[in-house]
Amino acid sequence: MGETVGGAVEQVGALVGWVGAGRKLTQTGRVTLTDARALVEVLDTGDRMDPVIGDRTFKTKSSEELYHLTLLVEWAKAARLLRTAGGRLLPVKKNAKLLDHPDELRRALFDALPHIGPAVTVSGWLESLFRHEYDRGLRTLLQRLYAATTPVRLSDLYKVVWQAVSPLYMLDDLSPDRLRHLRTAGDHDIQRVLKALASLGAVHLTEDSAELTVDGRTDTARMRGEPEPGDAVLRILVELADVDGPRVWRRLLVPATIRLDRLHSAIQAAMGWQNCHMHAFTIGGVQYGRPGGELGFRDEHTAALGALLKPGTHCVYTYDFGDSWEDLITVESLQTAASGLHYPHCVDGAGICPPEDCGGAPGYSDLKVILADPAHEEHQAMLEWLGLRSATEFAPGRFSSDEANARLLRLTAP
């Protein structure tokens, strides 16, 4: 699989320079055909003007038909290097300095990736689910690449993105042929995104695999909200209350700037829960959670842990208002981020988290009693409910920091 012609950084830089003081657009807001013909040559986009197929010439009627040129223009606009006003394409003067700093320009283009979905994916006779759920699909794609230490097969990337976006749609009634075409359309759009990433130097792309480059890994880490070396990091202890042995706790390193909604996801991953229920943080008598409900929570998306708690202070995290699991979160210390370490990071811990929907602390206590007694009338039923073949597979004291960190690494970008 070849990469796009030319490097996106150089092409966008050349595009902005070519626009100069401004260029007139068509009534539909597109680059004029005259300018498009010039730009295809100047930028070496690889687009074909008036393509000849067989013995027929198909006249290009709009610059919209030129995929790579259209993508570069929309990418430059998303990165706030160009703007449209009064029927003209204009430079954004305050960001012109980026053109003299290739690394900063590359970062700006990478950060603009979530905003170029309609341009980088292409509508055919059947639009892909990835196109409709571009933000979710892009973050899933980058997360899978970020979590890998070796090249990832393209077939694997197609699969994980499909698994991320398809549950949002009712597809049971589709014929096998239509479902296959829908998946193929998604695969093609993923290829286009990978080529865009490759043109940034963020991905090394081959015919059957993709791998983040050093720059791509750095940019993805920033998109994930991970701290850079030297940034403030909090060491926190998360301990499940009211559980009668073995003790269940996790010690985590999290960015001081982590939002509470992200902290919720990190706790779920570190503990091993499945994020099936509502939750809330209680800090200084104020409850934070998902906004807009009848419970009147403050918006957890706008609250950062480091702004609310200092070393030596604590709060309560409640999960599942039916089972009422409560974790005491204690901020133990303030540290600095180290290079080569992913955040959030689980340093240590003990005990498996109780199964979802087991009835809270009392129900979990009863469950352990039942599993410890093969003669108990509910013993077999509980094994089946847990999906276990034998009670020996149930080990309340078991914990693996490697497994916890693997789950944390799978968290998608916020």
283 near 308, Cβ under 8 Å? yes
197 near 390, Cβ under 8 Å? no
Decide if 121-223 and 232-352+400-409 have a common fold. Answer: no
Give residue limits of the domains in the chain.
1-113, 121-223, 232-352+400-409, 356-394
Q: 334 forms bridges with which residues in the sheet?
A: 234
pLDDT score for 5: 45
Q: 254 forms bridges with which residues in the sheet?
A: 234
Model pTM score: 0.81
290 near 298, Cβ under 8 Å? no
Superfamily of chain region 232-352+400-409: MM3350-like (3.10.290.30)
pLDDT score for 4: 44
Backbone dihedral region for residue 187 (phi beyond 0: left; psi -120 to 50: alpha; all else: beta)? alpha
pLDDT tens figures, 230-288: 999 999 999 999 998 789 999 999 999 999 999 999 999 999 999 999 999 999 999 99
Examine residue 102 and say whether the peptide bond preceding it is cis (omega within 30 degrees of 0): no
Query: Residue-wise pLDDT tens for the chain (414 aa)?
Result: 434 445 999 999 999 999 999 999 999 999 999 999 999 999 999 999 988 888 888 899 999 999 999 999 999 999 999 999 999 999 999 999 999 999 999 999 999 999 999 999 987 778 999 999 999 999 999 999 999 989 999 999 999 999 999 999 999 999 999 999 999 999 999 999 999 999 999 999 999 999 999 999 999 998 888 898 899 999 999 999 999 878 999 999 999 999 999 999 999 999 999 999 999 999 999 999 998 877 889 999 999 999 999 999 999 999 999 999 999 999 999 999 998 889 999 999 999 999 999 999 999 999 999 999 999 999 999 999 999 999 999 999 999 999 999 999 988 777
d(CA 193, CA 188): 9
What's 121-223's CATH class? mainly alpha
> Whose CA is closest to 124, among 167, 184, 45?
184
Residue 271 neighbours by CB distance under 10 Å: 25
d(CA 198, CA 185): 20
d(CA 129, CA 135): 11
Apex 194 CA angle, 143 and 103, nearest 5 = 85
d(CA 102, CA 82): 17
What's 1-113's CATH class? mainly alpha
| Residue written as token pair 């149930």 | 394
pLDDT score for 22: 96
pLDDT score for 6: 54
